[in-house]
Structure 1
């Protein structure tokens, strides 16, 4: 049993290496903490690692206090996403075919070991739209809290 958990943890860490890294845009405090950092909402941006011309903005809850400052607090599953076209979009053939539907394009650890917030991408060929879903998961049980954003694939400036 311990080996399975260790292998799963290693797989999660290795799986995170192929996804985008986020850039913090800003944050606001939501709960004052006497010791350690305040609880806050963090706004981050990342570019889709597979599709040029798409940038996603995430807002997510981040725990403060002593545990949060040490990186051992578990963040809540609250998150919101908005993705926008920021340049010309060329879809790789595997995206057009739907073969990578549900592919993780972003992951962020939200607890010391087993909880992550992730963004997965889908393609709706009928409407020619990219759909991005953010949600939180754990090794054993995820959260139904989620948010989506859509980006129509349109010609870029002429």
Structure 2
């Protein structure tokens, strides 16, 4: 039987490689000092909607530090906020399906993710982005929403 200490380097490698494509860390602030390992912090990341050119979302989320957080074994809280903006002409690539996942991030070693899903309010021609956290057994009601009006004649 393989010892846990033999699996930790492989698990850490997988976790580091699990970052979603296109997510860019904009910055972070420390919220709790940890004597050992990194501090708890709030991280701000940006990502572009993969099916809607011209829309960028900014996600702020809690990141647990300490020894467990430093090696990727801590479970991050479900606290997050999102703001999406039109940053260029909007071009939709293919048809949009309500509830499509546009961003996903593992927030624990197993079973917990933070994800952003997109809805198209066709009546108002607005894209709505919802961030929430889920677990296999139970999710969290903590969520945040942002909306982007589809501007036909967009100018910066």
Q: Give the TM-score of the pair, scaled to structure 1.
A: 0.83
Q: Which residue of 2 aligns with 1:6?
A: none
Take 1:35 and 1:20, find their aligned partners in 2: how far apart are those partners? 30
Q: Which residue of 2 aligns with 1:4?
A: none
> 1:68 is paired with a residue of what secondary structure?
helix
Q: Which residue of 2 aligns with 1:124?
A: 121
Q: Which residue of 1 aligns with 2:81?
A: 80
Contact 2:127 2:150 in 1 (8 A): yes
Q: Give the TM-score of the pair, scaled to structure 2.
A: 0.84
The 4+ residue runs of structure 1 with deviation greater than 4 A are none
| Per-residue CA distance 1:8-59 (angstroms, 9 max, x = gap) | xxxxx9xxx9x75310000000000000000000000000001000000000
Q: Which residue of 1 aligns with 2:154?
A: 156
Aligned residues: 138
Unaligned runs of 5+ in 2: 1-13
| Per-residue CA distance 1:59-115 (angstroms, 9 max, x = gap) | 0000000000010000000000000000001234522xxxx1000000000000110
Match of 1:134 among 131, 134, 137: 131
Take 1:83 and 1:24, find their aligned partners in 2: how far apart are those partners? 15
Take 1:93 and 1:35, find their aligned partners in 2: how far apart are those partners? 48
**Larger displacement relative to structure 2 (85-94 or 60-69):** 85-94
Contact 1:39 1:64 in 2 (8 A): yes
Take 2:48 and 2:68, find their aligned partners in 1: how far apart are those partners? 30
More strand by percentage: 2
Matched, 1:89 2:90: yes
Take 2:21 and 2:88, find their aligned partners in 1: how far apart are those partners? 17
> 2:110 is paired with a residue of what secondary structure?
coil
